[in-house]
């Protein structure tokens, strides 16, 4: 992310109580070392916050924030990402893998158990979760077996397949009913898919579902664009009209709509989209963080 996205934020606006702490506990000696470093004029890498429209959830930088607070400073540099509290919790399982303060076994165990119990982890394979948490595949396999046997998580038959260089997770035979993973496209704003039955492959973010179409191709849908497969579809023929574009505001739904649009762009066009956004809204992004 460009440094233009970094902002100075009041420490009083940061939430640390949402289950996003990646470590089992903070290291007091490390905090004191950071406090001394601040006193010597050191500057820290920005902490990472997820903004859900109301709250800034801290996911990476608990030691840095603690040191800043003890030093009596009111602000800290932060990177802001748009996302829900659940997004922040999921991301927390991936942090600290390459930090100078190595993760303890308790830290790794916290991430593994948290990821396996997380709603996003339910639809991911052991390999995907292992990559996310920075541990060996067999470790995830062992912990999944323990948690399934203890009844802490449901038994999963999620498998992983790679097509066209992209990896997807899916439910194999013998798992939960595939009907539970199927939806019907109910949004007339995408008439080319309206009324089609699609199969959930992966939850890419809180409200964006990667789905398999009847022809075998893949397409990401917003959660609001999908409905129950048994729900009747209006028999009225949909005609595409040029409707005025809804302005993007600070409203949570519109934020998610913008994220959905960006995530649907081809990989090769993401850099161009980022440059255009910064060119058009750069001044606004640096003074009024909106998390994109």
Q: pLDDT, tens digit, for every residue of 191-243?
A: 888 888 888 877 765 567 778 888 888 888 877 788 887 766 554 343 433 33
* Domain segments of the chain as ranges: 1-103, 105-156, 160-227, 252-287
Find out whether 260 and 226 touch, Cβ atoms under 8 Å. Answer: no
Which token pair is 110?
Answer: 């916290």
Find out whether 48 and 61 touch, Cβ atoms under 8 Å. Answer: yes
Query: Which CATH number does 105-156 carry?
Result: 1.10.10
pLDDT digit string (tens) for 103-155?
888 888 989 999 998 888 877 888 889 888 888 888 999 999 999 999 998 88
Mean pLDDT over residues 171-188, rounded?
A: 62
The whole-number pLDDT of residue 215 equals 86
Mean pLDDT over residues 42-68, rounded?
A: 90
Query: Which CATH number does 160-227 carry?
Result: 2.30.30
Distance CA 49, CA 54 (A): 12
Length of the chain: 292
Distance CA 60, CA 91 (A): 9
| 3-class DSSP state of 167 | strand
Q: Are strands 56-60 and 14-15 parallel, antiparallel or unpaired?
A: parallel
Orientation angle between helical segments 62-70 and 28-39, nearest 10 degrees: 60
Cα torsion through 231, 236, 237, 238, rounded to 10? -70
Q: What pLDDT band is residue 68 in, cutting at 50, 70 and 90?
A: very high
Find out whether 210 and 222 touch, Cβ atoms under 8 Å. Answer: no
Find out whether 232 and 191 touch, Cβ atoms under 8 Å. Answer: no
Q: Which of the residue ranges 86-90, 146-150, 253-257, 281-285 would you say has the lowest mean pLDDT?
A: 253-257
| 3-class DSSP state of 162 | strand
If you count DSSP H runs as helices and E runs as strands, how many of each does the chain have, helices first? Answer: 8, 12
Q: What pLDDT band is residue 62 in, cutting at 50, 70 and 90?
A: very high
Check if 105-156 and 160-227 are the same fold. no
The whole-number pLDDT of residue 292 equals 34
Orientation angle between helical segments 85-92 and 105-117, nearest 10 degrees: 140
Orientation angle between helical segments 105-117 and 126-133, nearest 10 degrees: 140
The class level of CATH for 1-103 reads alpha beta
- First vs last C-alpha separation in the chain: 10
Distance CA 194, CA 210 (A): 16
């Amino acid at each position: 992310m460009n440094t233009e996205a970094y902002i100075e934020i009041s420490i009083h606006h940061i939430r640390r109580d949402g289950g996003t702490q990646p470590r089992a506990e903070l290291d007091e000696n490390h905090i004191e070392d950071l406090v001394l470093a601040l006193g010597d004029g050191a500057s820290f890498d920005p902490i990472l916050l997820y903004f859900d429209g109301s709250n800034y959830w801290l996911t990476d930088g608990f030691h840095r924030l603690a040191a800043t607070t003890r030093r009596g400073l009111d602000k800290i540099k932060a990177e802001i990402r748009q996302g829900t509290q659940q997004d922040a919790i999921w991301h927390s399982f991936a942090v600290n893998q390459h930090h100078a303060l190595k993760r303890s076994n308790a830290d790794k165990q916290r991430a593994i158990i948290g990821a396996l119990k997380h709603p996003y982890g339910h639809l991911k394979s052991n390999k995907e979760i292992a990559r996310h948490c920075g541990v060996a595949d067999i470790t995830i396999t062992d912990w999944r077996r323990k948690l399934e046997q203890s009844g802490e998580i449901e038994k999963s038959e999620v498998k992983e397949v790679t097509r066209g260089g992209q990896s997807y997770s899916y439910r194999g035979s013998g798992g939960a009913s595939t009907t539970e993973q199927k939806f019907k496209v109910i949004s007339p704003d995408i008439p080319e898919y309206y009324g089609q039955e699609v199969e959930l492959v992966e939850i890419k973010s809180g409200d964006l579902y990667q789905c398999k179409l009847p022809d075998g191709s893949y397409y990401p849908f917003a959660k609001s664009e999908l409905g129950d497969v048994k729900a009747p579809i209006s028999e009225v023929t949909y005609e595409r009209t040029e409707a005025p574009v809804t302005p993007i505001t600070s409203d949570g739904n519109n934020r998610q709509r913008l994220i959905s649009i960006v995530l649907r762009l081809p990989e090769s066009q993401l850099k161009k989209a980022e440059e255009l956004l910064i060119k058009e809204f750069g001044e606004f992004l640096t003074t009024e963080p909106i998390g994109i």
